[in-house]
Structure 1
């Protein structure tokens, strides 16, 4: 716990909280700027990949729950972050301006893609507003849940920019190309029930409290499984998105040939034969 406190002191936009101090291997990574409706500040883009990496490397962590403090999940990118990108002297060399802008965009993209680079499953729990960059975040997560009061919008088109942190690539794979196109071009707000109908979220809970309890149960269920199987499943699913069927089958064959013959497999078989829950070593 003392290490967690020290870790959290480093973050201005986030907080890391164990869901249970005694048993669970599920940790809560919380967007923590409630006065700003959890708008993503410049600090976020440095802190978020660092926090994910620290949880990924922590053997006590099996699953990460991404949630938010306050009334809303995320209201998009803080205007300060946008200003920091555009605050280049107009007299500067145009080539260097554009090269710097590209690096800034790539830097922010890297922070969101850190969710997919994390070996461990990231489950998001959305309440209130999830707009703009909030959609970038949740579409990179492995599982998505929300409360009934949640609402969503791919808002960038209303700010005269093209969404560039991942939504336009990831959202079509989640809700279908037609739905993603309509949402991205209109920028309209849509409800939790519509998000469920489209497949953006797996389940809608009646309240934030019910969602937190339900998501915790899902996370603890995953955390009880073989960590080698869980991390392998995430890796193969993500890698398979960009492969042909033959390539994807070859990839999973190579993956399983490397890790299938583990103590986890023996433990799973023995546990089933003894009608008990398996106990797996940390990863």
Structure 2
């Protein structure tokens, strides 16, 4: 693992803990953040020892979203030609989208542990994760509307598949703050923990449970869930039949069956 400017990355118990590490700036997503998260998830993809990923924030908050200085700089670089400005802005937006696509496309489960502020671009980030968990002090807001813009890095595309359409629209149109318990009720987060310490302990325990399962089985399960976002039921059934025609020949199946029958904990290869 490399040294990162916007993140702290640790690997223990087959879990990659990816922490946004700009606490003095409320973990705002600056220019370093976007290429680094792609680099980190490329490493996660290439490292078989990693079985699960936890994303959190260092300090008092998860993240306040995109760094406003970064947006201001983009505005200052505009010239007088509307067409050229639009082309430059479009390339920038697609580059930012690629950062969270790397999270969404990760073949290992990604768990978000949210405390304090989770605003704007941070909603885009957690929407790209498999599951979301919150401390009691967590506050969520699709804040872009208050900045005079539409969210453009994944929230409006991914969040309707996580929470109800009407709830998503209300958050997107108003930018209002949603507390942890309301977020749990609407399905944005799975569980709420008393504080930041309990949140990290609980999410790490869930990640360890996932990491103890067959990585072949976890990989196949995630792939099928992702595939079904954009396909019909019969397409999904055809795909899992073809997938498992190969994967059911894995040694993991024999190990899991033997462990179940002997009531022992299975040990799977990376």
Out of 182, 186, 189, the position equivalent to 2:177 is 189
Find the residue that maps to 2:133 and give its secondary structure. strand
Preserved contact between residue 157 and residue 184 of structure 1 (Cα < 8 Å)? yes
Superposition deviation, residue 96 in structure 1? 2.1
Question: Could you report, residue by residue, the CA deviation over 1:181-239 in whole angstroms, capped at 9, with x for unpaired residues?
Answer: 11100100010000000000000000111111111110000000000111111111111
Q: In the aligned structure 2, how far is the partner of 1:167 from the partner of 1:151?
A: 16
**Aligned equivalent of 1:57:** 46
Out of 6, 17, 27, the position equivalent to 1:13 is 6
Preserved contact between residue 135 and residue 152 of structure 1 (Cα < 8 Å)? yes
**Aligned equivalent of 1:81:** 70
Q: In the aligned structure 2, how far is the partner of 1:261 from the partner of 1:130?
A: 43
Q: What aligned pairs does 1:1-283 form with structure 2 within 5 A after superposition?
A: 4=1, 7=2, 9=3, 11-18=4-11, 20=12, 24-91=13-80, 93-282=81-270
Superposition deviation, residue 87 in structure 1? 2.9
Preserved contact between residue 42 and residue 80 of structure 1 (Cα < 8 Å)? no
Q: In the aligned structure 1, how far is the partner of 2:186 from the partner of 2:129?
A: 16
**TM-score normalised by length of structure 2:** 0.97
Q: How many residues align?
A: 270
Superposition deviation, residue 84 in structure 1? 3.3
Question: Could you report, residue by residue, the CA deviation over 1:52-91 in whole angstroms, capped at 9, with x for unpaired residues?
Answer: 1102211221111000101000101001221232232423
**TM-score normalised by length of structure 1:** 0.93
Q: In the aligned structure 2, how far is the partner of 1:102 from the partner of 1:223?
A: 38
Q: In the aligned structure 1, how far is the partner of 2:23 from the partner of 2:77?
A: 30
Preserved contact between residue 153 and residue 189 of structure 1 (Cα < 8 Å)? yes
User: Alpha carbon RMSD of aligned pairs, Å?
Assistant: 1.1
Q: In the aligned structure 2, how far is the partner of 1:61 from the partner of 1:281?
A: 11
Runs of 4+ in 1 over 6 A off after TM superposition: none
Where structure 1 has 5 or more consecutive residues not aligned to the other structure, the ranges are none
Q: In the aligned structure 2, how far is the partner of 1:142 from the partner of 1:188?
A: 24
Where structure 2 has 5 or more consecutive residues not aligned to the other structure, the ranges are none
Q: More displaced, 93-102 or 131-140?
A: 93-102
Find the residue that maps to 1:175 and give its secondary structure. coil
Preserved contact between residue 72 and residue 128 of structure 1 (Cα < 8 Å)? yes
